[in-house]
Structure 1
Amino acid sequence: MKASARNQFKGTVKDVIIGTVNASVHVGLNGGATVVATITKESAENLAIKTGMAVIALVKASHIIIVTDFGGYRISARNQLPGSVTGIKPGAVNTEVDLELTGGEQIAATVTNDSVETLGLRKGQPATIVFKAGSVILAVAD
């Protein structure tokens, strides 16, 4: 599969909770982390999402938020995965920040240059990536 979303996590469906309109799908990644996706009930049915099946969770780099200090706050975004910065590639307006999650998965985030400066991002720095469950697209094999 080829897709423009740079973050493509292979995993296995651990749980599916079907609601009236949406479904919450919990995907266990190979490194041990869990990604939660919120998709429509219709999509869950069309893709025949079931516990134990292999899926790919896709997340655009622009949907990733980087947090270096929660300052005692909790946030509503379901996906909060710890890791560390492995690379910083500045551009004219935005910077690509590469991170490695604790389980070994690689992730790319695009943030503004101002955000990199404000957060003091540097290689090796611990950081948590955050993204909403609605930012996850699920793909399954035909």
Structure 2
Amino acid sequence: MSLSIRNQIPGTVTSVAVGEAMAAVKVRLEGGQDITAAITADAVKDLGFAAGSSVKALVKATEVALATGPVEGISIRNQINGTVVDVAAGPAMASVKVDVDGGELTAAVTADAVEALGLAAGTRVVALIKSTEISLATA
């Protein structure tokens, strides 16, 4: 199956905490960074996710926010360090490609944000992704 989701980073499940309806699945990305995906308990069961499962973390570009450094005092737990490799800006929106250990992320942000943050090739950034915006696929 082909998907329009550009962000597909391989990893391995390190733990699964299943609740009544939702589960928190921790994944170590191939580059060594850890993320958490909040998915349904039914999905964990149906897909057979357990520690050691190979997965792909899927995130729409519109769900990736960028910061120029780590952010404290925020509920977003997934903060992935990287370096901007390309910025394609139009009059309203921009596509920012970020090299992260183990893969590449694309963030769709406003052109105003690119200017205000000074985003250009070589800029160090932190990609912020809510755990509820990460889907997991079997690898």
TM (normalized to structure 1)?
0.92
- Separation in 2, partners of 1:73, 1:37: 20
The one of 118, 121, 126 aligned to 2:119? 121
Partner residue of 2:54?
Answer: 54
Deviation string 1:81-137 (CA, Å, 9 cap, x unpaired) is 111111100123210001111x24211101000111111112111110001000011
**Residue 97 of structure 1 aligns to which amino acid in structure 2?**
V
SS of match in other structure, 1:44: helix
Q: Which residue of 1 aligns with 2:30?
A: 30
One-letter amino acid of the structure 2 residue matched with residue 82 of structure 1 = N
Aligned length: 139
The one-letter code of the counterpart of 2:91 is A
Q: How far apart are 1:29 and its partner, in Å? A: 1.0
Amino acid of the residue matched to residue 37 of structure 2?
A
Report the residue type matching 1:3 in the other structure.
L
- Percent identity, aligned pairs only, is 37
The residue identity in structure 1 corresponding to 2:121 is K
For residues 91 and 34 of structure 1, what CA distance do their matches in structure 2 show? 32
The corresponding residue for 1:108 is: 106
Q: CA deviation at 1:74?
A: 2.4
**Residue 6 of structure 2 aligns with which residue?**
6
CA distance in 1, matches of 2:54, 2:82: 24
- 1:84 equivalent in structure 2: 83
Cα distance in 1 for partners of 2:35, 2:127 equals 11
Q: Which runs of 5+ in 2 are unaligned?
A: none
Q: Which runs of 5+ in 1 are unaligned?
A: none
1:123 counterpart SS class? coil
TM-score (norm 2): 0.94
After superposition, give the CA deviation of every residue in 1:29-67 in whole Å (9 maximum; x if it has no partner): 111111210001111111111110111110000000000
Q: For 2:86 and 2:54, how far apart are their aligned partners in 1?
A: 29
What's the C-alpha RMSD, in Å, of the aligned pairs?
Answer: 1.4
In the alignment, the residues of structure 1 paired with residue 72 and residue 19 of structure 2 have an alpha-carbon distance, to the nearest angstrom, of 29
Separation (CA, whole Å) in 1 of partners of 2:138 and 2:69: 35
- 4+ residue stretches of structure 1 with deviation over 3 A? none
